[in-house]
């Protein structure tokens, strides 16, 4: 049975460390963690989550875009677990967009990201997948893969004035 896990907050050491590769994803604890991440991201009104955010140093992310209170315009997709994901190609075009993070509550930042990326990863069954993502979902993927490298979205903001509170973001973007 999947459970909702506590989310590590900015300042937790694990959020600044490179996560370890998963060598055997058939381990029951890895399969359990995938289920827990899916349940946790839905409960927290997120659109993606990385294992380090729940205090697990694994190269595992879940991308789960769907409209919710934090991202009402998010496209709907089935939650996708990506094990050992790597960006293998990207567009030349970089666009800035507002991001938040379950590990940095109450803050949004204007972050430059590639418009389109191609990712190679293992799915939950251990099959190698290659997938292209654009726009908002590409942004989620890049944000979550950053967590696997110990990078938080605020590290990518170019100027301090592009970091605002969630309340101000909601007031000015509604």
Please identify every residue annotated as catalytic. Answer: 144
On whether 147 is known to bind a ligand per the annotation, the reply is yes
Separation between Cα atoms, residue 146 and residue 138, nearest integer Å: 12
- Which tokens go with 163? 């970091």
Strand partners, 109: 99, 163
Alpha-carbon gap, residue 44 to 86, rounded angstroms: 25
β-partners of residue 164 are 108
Q: Which long-range contacts (CB under 8 A, 24 or more apart) does 68-72 make?
A: 69/45, 70/45, 70/46, 70/100, 71/47, 71/136
Report the alpha-carbon distance of residue 32 to residue 65 in Å, rounded: 21
Q: Which helix (H) or strand (E) holds 158?
A: none
Q: Does 143 show up as a binding residue in the annotation?
A: yes
Nearest to 65 by CA among 132, 137, 142: 137
Token pair 């944000």 in the structure block, residue: 143
**Binding residue per annotation — 101?**
yes
Q: Within 13 Å and on the Cβ side, how many CA atoms surround 123?
A: 8
**Binding site listing:** 101, 143, 147
**Binding site listing for Fe cation:** 101, 143, 147
């Amino acid at each position: 049975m999947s459970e909702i896990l506590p989310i590590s907050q900015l300042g937790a050491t694990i959020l600044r460390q490179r996560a370890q590769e998963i060598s055997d994803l058939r381990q029951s604890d890895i399969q359990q963690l995938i289920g827990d991440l899916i349940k946790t991201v839905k409960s927290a009104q997120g659109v993606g989550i990385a294992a380090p955010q729940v205090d697990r140093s694994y190269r595992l992310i879940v991308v789960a875009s769907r409209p919710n209170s934090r991202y009402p315009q998010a496209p709907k997709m089935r939650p996708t677990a990506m094990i050992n994901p790597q960006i293998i190609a990207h567009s030349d075009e970089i666009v800035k967009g507002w991001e938040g993070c379950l590990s940095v509550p109450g803050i949004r930042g204007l972050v430059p990201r590639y418009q389109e990326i191609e990712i190679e990863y293992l799915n939950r069954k251990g099959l190698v997948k290659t997938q292209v993502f654009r726009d908002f979902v590409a942004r989620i993927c890049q944000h979550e893969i950053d967590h696997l490298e110990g990078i938080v979205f605020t590290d990518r903001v170019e100027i301090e004035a592009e970091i605002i509170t969630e309340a101000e973001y909601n007031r000015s973007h509604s």
